[in-house]
Amino acid sequence: MPVRNPVTQADRDRVAELHAEGKSRNDIADLMDRSGSTISGIARKLGLTFERGPEVASATAARQADLEERRQLLATRFIDIAEDSLDRIYQETTVYSFGGKNNDYNDHTFPEAPIAERVKLMTAAAIAVDKSLKLAPAESNAGLDAAKSMLGSLGAALSEYVRAEDETADQGDGEA
């Protein structure tokens, strides 16, 4: 049978002393070469606890602040993506495909993104704005409503522009 190491008054005094110094249960157990449960039992009989309420609360608050900062940084990146997507609508765009029985590669460069690409870019921008607002909500609903109105107007204007471009292209095809 293993030899038991009974708890002495000196052990109790040492636990009380180390506890008063602010040592954790596990630190005391390591220093005294005892198990954590033995130290907990001694502390309980002495009316001592190892609760770390204030330390845990401050650590939790610090963690929450760190996470909030990271959410703000991600929201900023989403806004950058939205702006980049909208800027690409008016940039020269090369569209390509593979096809035919020989799986030929074909491409064509347009001065601005074609309609299908515009829709994809606008969708990407809208998703990025939505995600940024979920990570970092707008300060007030008034600003959010104004932004939604502006985006709605922008969407309507782009749709009208695309429709006019299509009509111009259709008229140009008939004259050639």
- 57, burial (CB in 10 Å: exposed 0-12, middle 13-18, buried 19+): exposed
pTM for this model (two decimals) = 0.49
R_g of the chain computed on alpha carbons:
34
Residue 78: exposure state from Cβ atoms within 10 A (0-12, 13-18, ≥19) = buried
pLDDT at 147 over 50: yes
* More reliable by pLDDT, 168 or 65: 65
Determine the pLDDT at residue 39: 93
**In this predicted model, what pLDDT tens digit does every residue of 83-114 receive, in sequence order?**
999 999 999 999 989 988 888 999 999 999 99
Q: Which helix (H) or strand (E) holds 48?
A: none
Q: What is the pLDDT of residue 1?
A: 58
Residue predicted with more confidence, 148 or 8: 8
Compute the distance between CA of residue 79 and CA of residue 70 in angstroms, rounded to an integer: 14
Using alpha carbons, select from 37, 56, 46, 53 the residue that is nearest to residue 18: 46
The distance from CA 21 to its chain's CA centroid, rounded to whole angstroms, is 40
Share of the chain above pLDDT 70, in %: 91
Q: For position 143, what pLDDT does the model report?
A: 65
176 — pLDDT class (breaks 50, 70, 90) = very low
pLDDT digits (tens, 9 = 90+) for 18-70: 999 988 899 999 999 999 999 999 999 999 988 877 777 888 888 999 999 99
Counting Cβ atoms within 10 Å, is residue 39 exposed (0-12), middle (13-18) or buried (19+)?
A: buried
Contact 48, 16 (CB under 8 A): yes
